[in-house]
Structures are given as structure tokens and as C-alpha cells.
Amino acid sequence: MAVPKETVLVLDCSEHAELAEFYAELLGAETRMGSDPDVMEIIGNDGVHLAVHRDHGYAPPSWPRPDDASQAHLRILVSQEDMDEAEREAIGLGARPLDTKDNGGRHDVRMYADPAGHSFALVASKPPR
């Protein structure tokens, strides 16, 4: 039997407090200092658990990569009827659009870069529970 585990996606950045606040506001979550002073956690009531780590030598990723290599990104599920509002919210918080064309219906996927340059997607899905 497997030992119970939790997973936390950790994003590197140069300004961890600012990036933590970006994701907390975007996801309706809260921030708290991690056990390491270079780590801030983003915790939400609906199971959201991310962390950001201050990396003093951080260089933002590029998207899309010229060689079409896979790259990790967050997928944030949003009901189809809320996609436009979620896009306005993300941009208002400092996200940079990468590819935001409306792909229509349940296949609508819109890509952005967070303030530190990590890519994330707003993805049309069934309404959140």
C-alpha cells in the first residue's frame, strides 16, 4: 500500500511574494510563508496548493519554444460561460496573453504567461463543483 502523499507544484521566479499574490488572486486562494523563507505557498479551499520559490538566478521560460519541446504549464479549468471574464481577470492581474483566440465551445484553450513568464492556460470545462 502506498504511503499517503500530497503534491505541490512549485514555480521558480525572482519575486516570490508578487507571484504568489498573482496566483492567490487569480485562483481565489490565500498565501502563506513556507518553512523556507524563499518559498511562499498558495492554498485554496477547493484543493488548490501551489508554491513559488525565489530563485536569485531566475530566467523566465520562453513559449512556444522554437524546437516545439513540451514544457510544463498550469491548466486552470473555467466554465465556458466564464472564459471571457476569466481572461479579463488574468490580464488585469498582470498576465501576458500568448495565444488567446477563442477556440469555441468546450475546446476553448487560451494561453498566457504569468508575471514571472511561466505559461498557463485557461481551459473551458464543465462548471466547477
Instruction: Reply yes or no on whether the pLDDT at 106 is more than 70.
Output: no
- In whole angstroms, give the CA distance from residue 92 to residue 29: 17
For residue 66, the cross-strand partners are none
Q: What are the structural domains of the chain?
A: 9-54 (3.30.720.120), 74-125 (3.10.180.10)
What's the longest Cα–Cα distance across the chain? 46
Instruction: Reply yes or no on whether the pLDDT at 99 is more than 50.
Output: yes
Instruction: Reply yes or no on whether the pLDDT at 128 is more than 70.
Output: no
Q: What is the pLDDT of residue 103?
A: 62
DSSP 41-109: EEE-TTS-EEEEEE-TT-----SS-TT------EEEEEEGGGHHHHHHHHHHTT-EEEE-----GGG-E
- In whole angstroms, give the CA distance from residue 8 to residue 52: 10
Q: 114: part of which helix (H) or strand (E)? A: none
Instruction: Reply yes or no on whether the pLDDT at 71 is more than 60.
Output: no
> Residue 3 is placed in which grid cell?
504511503
Judge if pTM exceeds 0.85.
no
The model's confidence at residue 3, banded by pLDDT at 50, 70 and 90, is very low
Q: What is the pLDDT of residue 129?
A: 52
Quick: pLDDT tens for 9-36.
889 999 999 999 999 999 999 999 987 8
